[in-house]
Amino acid sequence: MTEHTPPTTGDDAAAQDGSPRHGFETPEGLRTLLIRLHEAGPGAWRSDREAAELMRYTAERYRRLARKYALDEWEIASAAFEVMLAPSTRNAGNPWAVVTRAMKITCGVEVRAAGMLVSPSKVRHTARIVGFHDAIRFAERENLADYHPAFAVNPTTDNEEDFDGSERARVAAVLSEIVGLFASAGWDAVLVTDCIEHVAYRLGDLTSRPNAVEVLRRDRAIPELLGVPSTSWAALLRIVLGHPAPKHAGTATGDGVLLRLLSGEPLDSLRCDTGLLAAIWAANPDKQAEP
């Protein structure tokens, strides 16, 4: 993030005694300036000296708020500029109150979006994120074997004390291999990583692989937040967790790539599975977007 140097002025004494240094520091003064800039037409903000002073003052005014949310004060000033352009702001009884309220909302949105790994616009306009928590990487979860039978350790053949080491590393390696498999078929690596990590995270809440496919497929909020078409999301679930239809039971299609890899099937075998690669390629969101 770009660092900005706050303006230095000789008006500190005026600021300390409470008297405004500029006319726009009052609600009436800000309204007057916003109306004048609006009537001046396009380009007025770039060439107007008082407008430049306003933005420096805005960065200073909201510096404490920005630091509270670990944001740059000039990032907040930029958001405030967008609010000041709105007719509702310059026509408000107290324009500064409108800007301040908008900045508090903006700060909350930025922090929420960063935690959920989505764009601020999706946090601001998607009501269905209410109740969602910040994203958690699958590797950050403890007792990963408790979340789904596919991650469980067989107590007759495995030492339970070794799970935190070798088994956790094995599961992480398998999930990474799945990401690589999709990426090799044209999927965006970052996007498929987010998708696979969410699937791995949700497996702990679901009773079986067929149930996981159905529950995750019906959750329309997740593909929207991840920016994945619903058809691509449904196909990814079937490929990773297996096709739930009874006719595919016991087949590679029914098992899914996650179980196949966890069962010991080598990755090279999956890479030679032309049907699997074709399904992954066809599910690519870029292909879904094509007319």
Looking at per-residue confidence, does 245 or 240 come out higher?
240
Looking at per-residue confidence, does 213 or 128 come out higher?
213
pTM over 0.85: no
Q: Please provide the DSSP assignment of the chain as one string.
A: ----PPP--S-HHHHHTT--SSGGGSHHHHHHHHHHHHHH-TTHHHH-HHHHHHHHHHHHHTHHHHHHTT--HHHHHHHHHHHHTSHHHHTSS-HHHHHHHHHHHHHHHHHHHHHHTS-HHHHHH-GGGTT------GGG-SSGGGG-GGG---TTTS-GGGIIIIIHHHHHHHHHHHHHHHHHTT--HHHHHHHHHHHHHHGGG-SSHHHHHHHHHH--HHHHHHT--HHHHHHHHHHHH---SGGGTTSHHHHHHHHHHHTT--HHHHHT-HHHHHHHHHH-HHHHH--
**Over residues 246-252, mean pLDDT:** 79
Looking at per-residue confidence, does 206 or 34 come out higher?
34
- Please tell me the predicted confidence (pLDDT) of residue 56: 93
- Please tell me the predicted confidence (pLDDT) of residue 113: 61
> Is residue 158 predicted with pLDDT exceeding 70?
no
Looking at per-residue confidence, does 188 or 16 come out higher?
188
User: pLDDT tens, 90-141?
Assistant: 999 899 999 999 898 888 777 766 655 555 555 454 544 444 444 555 555 5
> Is residue 281 predicted with pLDDT exceeding 70?
yes
